Amino acid sequence: MTSFPFTEALPIQFQAPLPKASEVVVIGGGVIGVTTALFLGRRNISVTLLEKGRIAGEQSSRNWGWIRQQGRDADELPVVIEAQRLWRQLAEECGEDIGLRQAGVTYLARTDKEMAGFAKFLKIAEIHGVDTRLLDQGETARLIPAMSRSFKGAMTTPSDMRAEPWVAVSALARLAAREGVTIIENCAARMLDISAGRVSGVWTEQGRIATSSAVVASGAWTSLFLRAHGVSIPQLSVRATVAATGPMPEIHSGAVADEHIAFRRRQDGGYTLASGGTSQLYVGPDAFRHATKFVPALMANPFGTSYLPAAPRGYPDSWSTPRRWNADEESPFERIRILNPAPKASALRDIEREFAALFTQFKTVPIKASWAGMIDAMPDVVPVVDRAAEIPGLVIATGMSGHGFGIGPGMGRVVSDLVQGNEIGHDLHRFRQSRFSDGSPIKLGPSL
């Protein structure tokens, strides 16, 4: 079995010289940062994107590759509907096969309670004209006839799509670079330069860039970066394990999940496999600091997360990771260029066992690769997309909570217009930073 290929050994693709000034600096080269930079550049705005390691080296390449409307929070759904349109447009414009296919997403139900939960989302989908529908036991069996067991029913959205994340985000970055965006890999943003209370530049390991606008879209590292500037968000990161098979006969062309197993057909003829909804949290200072805000999510799914006493050295919420540093010294972001957590061995065994039990016609499951990623999670399972009240000129786009790849181009367009002060076209009230400090109750998004 091989490990995930995105490491520091991957050759640097983007090594533009550091400019002296840029109208906007985007910190973080995942799908949100890349598409934000792309849409800013299309408005003839000079934009520099800084990535401490490699484009899409962390969660933007390690996710399941689902582009789904299904199961979204009601306030996310309009943005992801836009993202679906943008994915099609950008797939054509980048001129590369990113594996974009409309093959549907299906959630399987073992119980009446699960079916009732699906019915709640169906009402939301109908309001927005999404083609989600509920299937009974027989319809579910006919949709995926290779399954060895029957289910109470399912929820399916035929218009949902899939793509290859490790291909797609890099292709979008190449598109952005061709259109004039300055992208610099292996260049960590160490600190914001703040003058008269607002953003005036960004200090990097290569020097300073003057700017009046900075976007922090750094995934699991965002909370650490912001806290050094007095901005607190209750973001934690959880580890999730994924496996990939070699080529197999097609059992279903789309993406499917139940509470135990999730799988997606890939363009190379294999399947991406994962647990249906389990993850691990490394307990650190932020976990204690924000524990009370995560209680509702814990109560809703008490067995979905297991806990480990300490993160590996240098991880964002490791006990040993510095919370303060100077602009002229090495920062935590240079010490770990790419978060590359080890996959959980027991999770890999569970994934293989559950997939084999659901499709007993396979004598073996040819696992060829495995990896893990750190998901930037918020207490209510929806992101923070907002201007930072504490520091004018700073925009935060983080906490996608495992939903970032599919919604990426939609959020990138939104963040681009947020930076410019344009009309957004969507209600972002749900995603405001202040919801965790203004006394509002935690309103959980769907855990699907």
The pLDDT score that the predictor gives to residue 278 is 78
* 213 is a domain residue: yes
Q: Identify the three-state secondary structure at position 40.
A: helix
pLDDT in tens, the chain (448 residues): 556 667 888 999 999 999 999 999 999 999 999 999 999 999 999 999 999 999 999 999 999 999 999 999 999 999 999 999 999 999 999 999 999 999 999 999 999 999 999 999 999 999 999 999 999 999 999 999 999 999 999 999 999 999 999 999 999 999 999 999 999 999 999 999 999 999 999 999 999 999 999 999 999 999 999 999 999 999 999 999 999 999 999 999 999 999 999 999 999 999 999 997 778 999 999 998 998 998 888 777 765 788 889 999 999 999 999 999 999 999 999 999 999 999 999 999 999 999 999 999 998 999 999 999 999 999 999 999 999 999 999 999 999 988 899 999 999 999 999 999 999 999 999 999 999 999 999 999 876 6
Do both 136 and 268 map to the same domain? Answer: no
Out of 115, 136, 158, a domain closes at 158
397 found inside a domain: yes
Q: Is residue 443 part of a domain?
A: no
Q: Assess whether 136 and 94 both reside in one domain.
A: no
pLDDT of residue 4: 66
pLDDT at 76: 96
Residues 83 and 147 in one domain: no
Determine how many CB atoms are found less than 10 A away from the CB of residue 194. 18
**Of 119, 140, 158, the domain-final residue:** 158
| Domain CATH number, residue 49 | 3.50.50.60
- 152 and 164 fall within a common domain: no
Residue 13 in contact with residue 68, Cβ under 8 Å? no
Are 211 and 133 part of one and the same domain?
Answer: no
Supply the pLDDT for residue 1. Answer: 52
List the one residue out of 182, 186, 191 whose CA is nearest residue 216.
Answer: 191
Kindly list the distances between the CA atom of residue 299 and the CA atoms of 211, 295, 309, 326, 381, in Å, as whole numbers in the listed order.
Answer: 43, 6, 20, 40, 14
Examine residue 10 and state whether it is found in any structural domain, yes or no.
no
- How far is residue 60's CA from residue 38's CA, in Å, rounded to a whole number? 16
Amino acid in position 330: E
Report the pLDDT value the prediction gives residue 427, as an integer from 0 to 100. 97
Q: Of 433, 410, 314, whose CA–CA distance to 87 is shortest?
A: 410
Instruction: Identify whether residues 54 and 97 lie together within a single domain.
Output: yes
Q: Is residue 1 part of a domain?
A: no
**Residue 355 is assigned to a structural domain of this protein:** yes
Domain extent, residue 144, equals: 105-158
Q: What is the pLDDT of residue 3?
A: 62
DSSP 309-371: S-PPTTSTT-TTS-S---TTS--HHHH-SS--PPPPHHHHHHHHHHHHHH-TT-S---EEEEE
Q: Is there a single domain that holds both residue 169 and residue 119?
A: no
* Domain identity same for 79 and 164: yes
Whether residues 335 and 399 share a domain: the answer is yes
183, 184, 308 from 12: Cα distances, Å? 11, 9, 33
73 falls within a domain: yes
Last residue of a domain, one of 115, 131, 158: 158
Q: What are the Cα distances from residue 303, in Å, to 4, 259, 298? A: 27, 11, 8
Q: How far is CA 34 from CA 68, 172, 220, 226, 374, in A?
A: 20, 7, 16, 20, 19
Tell whether 241 and 341 lie within a shared domain. yes
Statement to judge: residues 166 and 31 lie in one domain: yes
Angle at 247 between CA 30 and CA 110, to 5 degrees: 75
Query: How many independent structural domains does the chain possess?
Result: 2
Distance of alpha carbon 382 from alpha carbon 76, whole angstroms: 8
pTM of the predicted protein model: 0.96
In a domain, 448, yes or no: no
Say if residue 121 is in the same domain as residue 222: no
Q: What is the dihedral of CA 25, 30, 32, 35, to 10 degrees?
A: 70
